[in-house]
Amino acid sequence: MSNKLDRSDTCKYIAAELSLITSTVIIVLLLSAMAKFLNPVVDVSRIHEIIAVPDNNYLKPEPLERILFLTGVFVWPILLFLAYNAAGVVLDRLGLTAVLAEKTDAILKILIGAATALLLWLDLDKTDYYILEKSIADNSPVSWGVIAMLTALSIIIASSERNKVNRFVFNVLSVLVSIAAPAIILGIVVFALYDLNIIAHTSNHVEHLNAVLHAVAQVFNGKELLVDLNHQYGMYPHFLEPVFKVTGLSMLSFTAVMGVMTGVALWLLYRFMREISGNSVIAGYGFSALVYYGYFF
């Protein structure tokens, strides 16, 4: 597959972004208007009783919540479809389709330049921004500005017309990405593995691990979801039950199965990004951004 970005789809991408923004604004305004018009009365007089004596009936959505939820579920896809088609028509009527298709490189460089300028400004500013404090770069000897400029340069090279120098740099970057992506996925899978010796009284183990493991253990021991117990995250324990009947259920086997499934999912996402972009380097940066906030922030 060619590593050249597909210019013919530029307007489709822009129309998709415009339709997402437009439909989101419309649905928010619509739901806000509905909530204001219906003007629900919130009764908090029995809040202490509800908290003290848990009852599943109290957890059922209020009528307004149900209406807003169903409206959003059924109306938003329709709005998104209509907005996408409308955006395409508007771009055609304004004569922007051909212009945008021809100016893909310029648009890309402007966006990269703006993002780089923002990171340079954050780097020079002495304010301790949360996003920088919690980042890898904050503890790195290389500053945000240098990272931003190197990233911007490599993206521009990866998306530009090939000459001898660009081709060499692109090939090097492509090889690095092809090594880094599987390494990152493998690291995430290995990081997910632990046994009972690692368990501690922390929120990750007491709250998050318990929320996903408890139902698996109950189903493994013969219970039925929605019959014997409820589960916050759906019916997946029944799908995993045959696997654990073979491997046995322990902390190590549970984290191994979940880690492998996570790794497979991330690998498929990475392959999809390579296929859809047609550019291994751009896909690598996209994949890095995808996993960064989930695992490294």
Q: Which residues contact 273 (CB under 8 A, 6 or more apart)?
A: 283, 286, 287, 290
CA angle 221, 223, 228 (to 5 degrees): 150
Residue 225 φ/ψ, nearest 5 degrees: -70, 145
* Structure letter (DSSP) for residue 142: S
pLDDT in tens, 268-295: 999 998 888 778 888 888 888 888 777 7
Q: Is the pLDDT of residue 200 over 90?
A: no
Every domain of the chain and the residues it spans: 1-102, 103-160, 196-249
pLDDT in tens, 43-79: 656 555 555 555 555 555 567 777 888 888 888 889 9
pLDDT at position 244 is 93
pLDDT at position 246 is 92
pLDDT band at 105 (very low <50, low <70, confident <90, very high): low
pLDDT in tens, 123-153: 666 556 555 555 555 555 455 556 666 677 6
pLDDT at position 49 is 58
pLDDT in tens, 182-196: 999 999 898 888 877
State the average pLDDT over residues 14-37.
84
State the average pLDDT over residues 27-44.
77
pLDDT at position 6 is 45
pLDDT band at 3 (very low <50, low <70, confident <90, very high): very low
Average pLDDT, the chain: 76
Please name every residue paired with 225 in a beta bridge, in sequence order, or none if there are none.
229
Q: Positive or negative CA dihedral for 201, 206, 207, 209?
A: positive
pLDDT band at 159 (very low <50, low <70, confident <90, very high): low
Helices 104-124 & 144-159, crossing angle to 10 degrees? 170
State the average pLDDT over residues 2-17.
60
pLDDT band at 1 (very low <50, low <70, confident <90, very high): very low
Listing DSSP states for 211-243 in one string gives: HHHHHHHHHHTT--BTTTB--TT-SHHHHHHHH
Q: Positive or negative CA dihedral for 284, 289, 294, 297?
A: positive
pLDDT at position 186 is 92
pLDDT at position 85 is 87
State the average pLDDT over residues 153-181.
74
* Structure letter (DSSP) for residue 293: I
